[in-house]
Amino acid sequence: MGKRIHNFNPGPAALPLPVLEEIQGEFLDYKGSGMSITEVSHRSAWFEEVINDAKVRVKRLLGCGEDYEVLFIQGGASLQFSMVPMNLLPDDQVADYVNTGSWSAKAIKEAQILAKKVRVVASSEDRDFTYIPKNIDFNEDAAYVHITSNNTIRGTQWSRYPDTGTLPLVSDLSSDIMGRPMDLTSFGLIYAGAQKNLGPAGVTLVVIRRDMLDRVPDNLPTMLRYTTFSAKNSMFNTPPCFAIYVVQLVLKWLEETVGGLAKMEKINKEKAALIYNYLDKSDFYRGTADKEDRSMMNVTFRLAEQSLEQIFVEEALANDLGGLKGHRSVGGCRASLYNATVLEAVEALVSFMTDFERRYG
């Protein structure tokens, strides 16, 4: 095997090494089929077993029962920005949205493009999205409440989901899905592009409460209706088979190797604390998110001397620490600590940060 670096990419992101090795080991001959998983029919027993096992594992890990459907859809979370209001927001109703950054803003914009009625009930734009709004007043007539669980660009995360009472909560969980246990009781729908915490790019996980499916109008294009995917086991047409197969292996790794989401959260908290503790005692680096709303998944920071940031990123890569450049819209630096990023990688990063500060501080 060639050299592998410590991968802090924000997405596509690190995958668990044991999963990559399992893919490699059975890539040419999947389960004695004489074919790669990329070659078998999506109608075959081989793939049917893959997708059904993935659905079962999603439900087990999230602790949701038969009142939820697990769907695999293409188009990324970005397509869900429009699919959610198309399917769940009738023209005569209004939805409440909370704006905590770029992805929330995109979701709001897509709903507005569809001429859907949207209320932005809270926003953290007044302080450059460095915090999560608190004590939000939701409207009793809202069709649903939409939030972005974790904000990859600004490094903030909902540590507690808002209390929406009987209003169904809808959330983009692309960057922290399966990073911690969650109670789905208040959620009508969650969605997550796989390429950050679940698998490779190309598939989006949607978990929807069955009663929400009753809202889906008949006059939507077939491939934009959640009911199409629920009725056909996500195989109305050819699904992204390889991406779903990798997601299934990552879910198996989470269950059988890590030992579930509570254990995953413990590891994630330990990883994040390593960097945040270092940032808090340094005058050379500065975290950009409010302490109480910091993300476990995406640690965003600036250097006191911003002209050094490019040098920092370049020298880090030369030291086998990749993907540390901040999002192009905000600059700075960012370390993405998704589930597959191991503790040793974070220790190596903090060691490099310490050495860099010693040399340039």
pLDDT, tens digit, for every residue of 65-76? 999 999 999 999
Q: Is residue 223 part of a domain?
A: yes
Residues 274 and 354 grouped into a single domain? yes
Point out the domain boundary residue: 223, 258, 293: 258
272 pLDDT exceeds 70?
Answer: yes
State the Cα–Cα distance between residues 109 and 352, nearest whole angstrom: 40
Which distant-in-sequence residues (6+ apart) come within 8 Å of 318 by Cβ?
none
Q: Is residue 119 part of a domain?
A: yes
- Judged on CB neighbours under 10 Å (0-12, 13-18, 19+), 220 is middle
pLDDT of residue 164: 97
291 vs 361 pLDDT, higher one = 291
pLDDT of residue 123: 98
Q: Is residue 7 part of a domain?
A: no
Which distant-in-sequence residues (6+ apart) come within 8 Å of 357 by Cβ?
282, 284, 285
Residues 150 and 224 grouped into a single domain? yes
Residues 284 and 154 grouped into a single domain? no
pLDDT of residue 2: 76
Q: Is residue 274 part of a domain?
A: yes
pLDDT of residue 1: 61
> What's the pLDDT tens digit per position in 206-230?
999 999 999 999 999 999 999 999 9
Residues 104 and 226 grouped into a single domain? yes
Residues 164 and 214 grouped into a single domain? yes
Residues 24 and 74 grouped into a single domain? yes
**Which among 265, 241, 244, 337 has a CA at the least distance from the CA of 61?**
265
% of residues, the chain, pLDDT over 90: 98
Calculate mean pLDDT across residues 16-36: 97
Work out how many domains the chain is built from and give that number: 2
Point out the domain boundary residue: 258, 289, 310: 258
Q: Is residue 271 part of a domain?
A: yes
Residues 174 and 307 grouped into a single domain? no
The boundaries of the domain holding residue 289 are: 260-360
Residues 309 and 161 grouped into a single domain? no
133 pLDDT exceeds 80?
Answer: yes
Residues 269 and 247 grouped into a single domain? no
CATH of residue 164's domain is 3.40.640.10
Q: Is residue 5 part of a domain?
A: no
pLDDT of residue 213: 98
289 pLDDT exceeds 80?
Answer: yes
337 pLDDT exceeds 70?
Answer: yes
Q: Is residue 85 part of a domain?
A: yes
Q: Is residue 10 part of a domain?
A: no
104 pLDDT exceeds 80?
Answer: yes
Point out the domain boundary residue: 243, 258, 273: 258
Residues 290 and 221 grouped into a single domain? no
Averaged confidence pLDDT in the chain: 97
CATH of residue 275's domain is 3.90.1150.10
**How far out from the chain centre does Cα 335 lie?**
15
Residues 42 and 112 grouped into a single domain? yes
What pLDDT band is residue 163 in, cutting at 50, 70 and 90?
Answer: very high
Active site residues: 103, 172, 196
109 pLDDT exceeds 90?
Answer: yes
Residues 190 and 53 grouped into a single domain? yes
Please write down the HEC assignment for all residues of the chain: CCCCCEECCCCCCCCCHHHHHHHHHHCCCHHHCCCCCCCCCCCCHHHHHHHHHHHHHHHHHHCCCCCEEEEEECCHHHHHHHHHHHHHCCCCCEEEEEECCHHHHHHHHHHHHCCCEEEEEEECHHHCCCCCCCCCCCCCCEEEEEEECEECCCCEECCCCCCCCCCCEEEECCCCCCCCCCCHHHEEEEEEECCCCCCCCCCEEEEEEHHHHCCCCCCCCHHHCHHHHHHCCCCCCCCCHHHHHHHHHHHHHHHHHHCCHHHHHHHHHHHHHHHHHHHHCCCCEEECCCHHHECCCEEEEEECCHHHHHHHHHHHHHCCEECCECCCCCCCEEEECCCCCCHHHHHHHHHHHHHHHHHHC
